[in-house]
């Protein structure tokens, strides 16, 4: 295919006419397609239905050590739930506190608590003149929503295939005491699907922040979400907790993980893993906030998933399902956009997203064009703080939720929108 930038005006106008006819045909079908968020599809959720049968009215409801999970007790979680979640990221179970269904709520509480009470005895952030966070971009919109909610200034750091630009990260945290944290999705990142290199993780552990209350928010959300069953095709991530401890900076990191997309997103379990000092800091506030989280759900998960071997087998089945959907989208992008010079995309080996880079100034128009014909995508700019993509080029594609039939139609519509908006942009620039 000839690159659009090399085509003459007459050729582009003729092409646009044919593409517009195709677009109007699809638009006239009254579609309702949703690729706005990384939600598991119905077939993925069905894999966990057996978890609803491992406990019933005749169960004794006791855990391995005889604790009655129906009652109060063990505010930091069942020991077997700690082992299960710790195993997902290679942490020590003794570092873990188990919470409810959403690790995002732990992150929100950690920032909120830091604002009102400080971090391990430091000055509460709300009493400081300025509080800033580093935000690798493109990144996870819900992270940025938390810091925006609390009025924390966000500083953009460019993502590379190896992780955030560590030269920038190292310089900023060393020089600026107002920088109190950094958001990280270190494995199969949202939205690009990149995994931080071993060198990047080592550099994180060796950071020398000027602020003693600086924390790395290590959201390892996709730790076990591989697309490929063969371990040689899976990304590997070093254990940040042990590296920080070896570097004498064990308090510098909070690590989060959940079963939200392993079992049921609305009914999972999650954890924070951290140093003993950070654990005590969390627990002294947690004992005021709650008497304990849902231990019956923790028991249900441990009986169903059992251990890391059980998680691997379960996620192998999920990977087979999601890979088909990723390949469906990749195939459409390659067939229809390959060689046209109007878009590039990522090929992650895990996670939930494909990151698409359109021509500068086109992302918002592409998303709006798709919505016009019944396809809802993540809002353009959502992967950047304040919802503002400086280049207006990034679009997050979430392939997992639609059925295969819907996905094929959504892919066709998406590439039509990319082509039409790109032609207009190129003609406008001439």
Same fold yes or no, 4-44+313-429 and 61-306: no
The gap from C-alpha 56 to its chain's centroid, in whole angstroms, comes to 34
DSSP-based three-state secondary structure for 219: strand
Give pLDDT tens digits for 159-208.
999 999 999 999 999 999 999 999 999 999 999 999 999 999 999 999 99
DSSP 68: B
CA atoms within 13 A on the CB side of 7: 21
What local confidence, expressed as pLDDT, does residue 430 receive?
A: 84
Nearest Cα neighbor of 238 from 181, 284, 188, 198 is: 198
Q: Are strands 253-258 and 215-219 parallel, antiparallel or unpaired?
A: parallel
Q: The domain 4-44+313-429: what is its CATH number? A: 3.90.1150.10
Residue 426 banded pLDDT, cuts 50, 70, 90: very high
Q: What is the mean pLDDT of residues 386-393?
A: 97
Give yes or no for residue 1 having a pLDDT over 80: no
- End-to-end C-alpha distance for the chain, whole angstroms: 21
Give pLDDT tens digits for 226-267.
999 999 999 999 999 999 999 999 999 999 999 999 999 999
Read off φ and ψ for residue 339, nearest 5 degrees.
Answer: 85, -5
Among the four given CATH numbers 3.40.640.10, 2.102.10.10, 2.60.120.10, 3.40.50.620, the one describing domain 61-306: 3.40.640.10
What string of DSSP letters covers 82-149?
HHHHHHHHT--GGGEEE-SS-HHHHHHHHHHHHHHH-STTSPPGGGSS--EEEEEES--HHHHHHHHH
What local confidence, expressed as pLDDT, does residue 2 receive?
A: 86
Give pLDDT tens digits for 109-151.
999 999 999 999 999 999 999 999 999 999 999 999 999 999 9
Radius of gyration (Cα) for the chain, nearest Å?
A: 23
Q: Are strands 132-137 and 96-98 parallel, antiparallel or unpaired?
A: unpaired
How far is it, in rounded angstroms, from Cα 115 to Cα 133? 13
What local confidence, expressed as pLDDT, does residue 251 receive?
A: 98
Average pLDDT, the chain: 97
Give pLDDT tens digits for 31-74.
999 999 999 999 999 999 999 999 999 999 999 999 999 999 99
How far is it, in rounded angstroms, from Cα 4 to Cα 140? 32
The strand pairing partners of 182, in sequence order, are 134, 216
CA geometry: angle 263, 332, 372, nearest 5 deg:
85
Helix, strand, coil percentages for the chain (3-state, nearest 5): 45, 15, 40
Domain boundaries, the chain: 4-44+313-429, 61-306
CA atoms within 13 A on the CB side of 77: 29
């Amino acid at each position: 295919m000839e690159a659009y930038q090399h085509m003459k005006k007459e050729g582009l106008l003729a092409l646009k006419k044919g593409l517009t006819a195709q677009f109007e045909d699809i638009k006239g079908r009254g579609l309702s397609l949703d690729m706005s968020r990384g939600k598991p599809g119905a077939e993925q959720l069905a894999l966990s239905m057996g978890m609803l049968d491992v406990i019933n009215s005749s169960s004794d409801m006791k855990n391995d050590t005889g604790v009655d999970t129906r009652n109060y007790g063990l505010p930091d979680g069942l020991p077997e739930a700690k082992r299960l979640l710790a195993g997902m990221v290679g942490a020590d179970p003794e570092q873990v506190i188990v919470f409810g269904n959403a690790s995002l709520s732990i992150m929100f509480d950690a920032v909120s608590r830091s604002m009102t009470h400080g971090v391990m005895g430091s000055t509460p952030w709300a009493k400081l003149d300025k509080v800033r966070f580093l935000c690798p971009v493109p990144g996870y919109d819900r992270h940025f929503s938390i810091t925006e909610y609390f009025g924390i200034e966000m500083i953009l750091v460019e993502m590379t295939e190896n992780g955030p630009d560590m030269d920038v990260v190292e310089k900023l945290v060393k020089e600026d005491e107002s920088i109190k944290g950094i958001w990280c999705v270190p494995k199969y990142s949202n939205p690009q699907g990149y995994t931080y290199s071993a060198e990047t993780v080592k550099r994180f552990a060796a950071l020398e922040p000027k602020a003693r209350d600086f924390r790395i928010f290590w959201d390892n959300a996709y730790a076990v979400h591989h697309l490929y069953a063969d371990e040689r095709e899976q990304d590997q991530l070093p254990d940040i907790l042990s590296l920080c401890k070896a570097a004498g900076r064990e308090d510098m990191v909070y690590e989060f993980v959940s079963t939200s997309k392993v079992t049921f997103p609305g009914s999972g379990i999650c954890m924070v893993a951290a140093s003993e000092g950070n654990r005590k800091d969390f627990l002294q506030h947690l004992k005021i906030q709650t008497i304990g989280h849902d231990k019956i759900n923790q028991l249900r998960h441990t009986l169903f998933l059992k251990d890391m071997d059980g998680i691997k087998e379960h996620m192998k089945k999920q990977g087979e399902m999601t890979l088909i959907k990723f390949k469906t989208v990749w195939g459409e992008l390659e067939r229809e956009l390959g060689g046209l010079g109007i878009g590039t995309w990522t090929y992650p080996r895990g996670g939930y997203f494909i990151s698409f880079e359109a021509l500068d100034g086109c992302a918002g128009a592409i998303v709006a064009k798709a919505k016009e014909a019944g396809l809802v995508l993540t809002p353009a700019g959502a992967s950047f703080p304040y919802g503002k993509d400086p280049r207006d080029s990034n679009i997050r594609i979430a392939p997992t939720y639609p059925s295969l039939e819907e996905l094929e139609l959504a892919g066709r519509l998406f590439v039509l929108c990319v082509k039409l908006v790109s032609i207009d942009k190129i003609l406008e620039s001439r």
